[in-house]
Structure 1
Amino acid sequence: MKENVESSGGSATITPSQQIMASSAGALLTSLFVTPLDVVKIRLQAQSKPFSKGKCFVYCNGLMDHLCVCVNGNSKAWYKAPGHFRGTTDAFVKIIRNEGLRSLWSGLPPTLVMAIPATAIYFTCYDQLRDVLIPIMGGNAESASVVAGATARFGSATLISPLELIRTKMQSRPLSYKELRLCIQSSVAKDGWLSLWKGLGPTVLRDVPFSAMYWFNYELGKKWLCQRYNTPEATFTIHFMAGAASGSIASVLTLPFDVVKTRRQIEVGELEVFNNSQKRSTSTWRVMNTIMAENGFKGLFAGLIPRLIKVAPACAIMISTYEFGKKFFRKLNSEQQLKTL
Structure 2
Amino acid sequence: VKTQLQAQTVAAVAVGHQHNHQGVSSAFETIYRTQGLVGLWRGVSGAVPRVMVGSAAQLATFASAKEWVEELQWFKEGSWIVALAGGMISSVAVAVAMTPFDVVSTRLYNQPVDERGTGKHYRGLLDCFVQIFRKEGILALYKGIGPAYLRLGPHTILSLLFWDELRKLTYRHQQHGV
- TM-score in same-fold range (> 0.5): yes
1:290 pairs, out of 128, 131, 140, with: 131
> Cα distance 1:246–1:287, how it changes in 2: closer, same or farther (>3 A)?
same
Which residue pairs with 1:277 in the alignment? Answer: 116
1:229 pairs, out of 74, 83, 86, with: 74
How many Å separate the matches in 2 of 1:197 and 1:278?
Answer: 11
Which residue pairs with 1:266 in the alignment? Answer: 110
Partner-residue secondary structure (3-state), 1:173: helix
CA contact (8 A) 1:245 1:312 kept: no
Q: Is 1:321 the counterpart of 2:173 in the alignment? A: no
Which residue pairs with 1:252 in the alignment? Answer: 96
How many Å separate the matches in 2 of 1:309 and 1:295?
Answer: 24
Q: Is 1:307 the counterpart of 2:162 in the alignment? A: no
**Offset at 1:322?**
2.5
> Cα distance 1:248–1:333, how it changes in 2: closer, same or farther (>3 A)?
same
How many Å separate the matches in 1 of 2:52 and 2:76?
Answer: 31
Deviations 1:106-133 (A, max 9, x none): xxxxxxxxxxxxxxxxxxxxxxxxxxxx
Q: CA RMSD in A?
A: 4.1
Which residue pairs with 1:173 in the alignment? Answer: 28
Equivalent positions of 1:44-193 (< 5 A) are 48-49=13-14, 53-54=20-21, 71=23, 172-173=27-28
Which residue pairs with 1:212 in the alignment? Answer: 56
How many Å separate the matches in 1 of 2:91 and 2:157?
Answer: 8
> Cα distance 1:172–1:333, how it changes in 2: closer, same or farther (>3 A)?
farther
**Offset at 1:304?**
1.7
Give the aligned residue type for 2:101.
F
CA contact (8 A) 2:103 2:141 kept: yes
Identity %: 17
Deviations 1:267-320 (A, max 9, x none): 4xx66xxx9534113332211233245533322221122112222222101111
CA contact (8 A) 1:222 1:238 kept: yes
How many Å separate the matches in 1 of 2:26 and 2:123?
Answer: 22
> Cα distance 1:316–1:204, how it changes in 2: closer, same or farther (>3 A)?
same
- Structure 2 residues without counterparts, runs of 5 or longer: 1-5
Which residue pairs with 1:242 in the alignment? Answer: 86
How many Å separate the matches in 2 of 1:46 and 1:238?
Answer: 44
How many Å separate the matches in 2 of 1:332 and 1:245?
Answer: 29
- Structure 1 residues without counterparts, runs of 5 or longer: 1-41, 55-69, 72-76, 78-169, 175-179
**Offset at 1:248?**
0.7
Query: If the length of structure 1 is used for normalisation, what is the TM-score?
Result: 0.38
Query: If the length of structure 2 is used for normalisation, what is the TM-score?
Result: 0.65
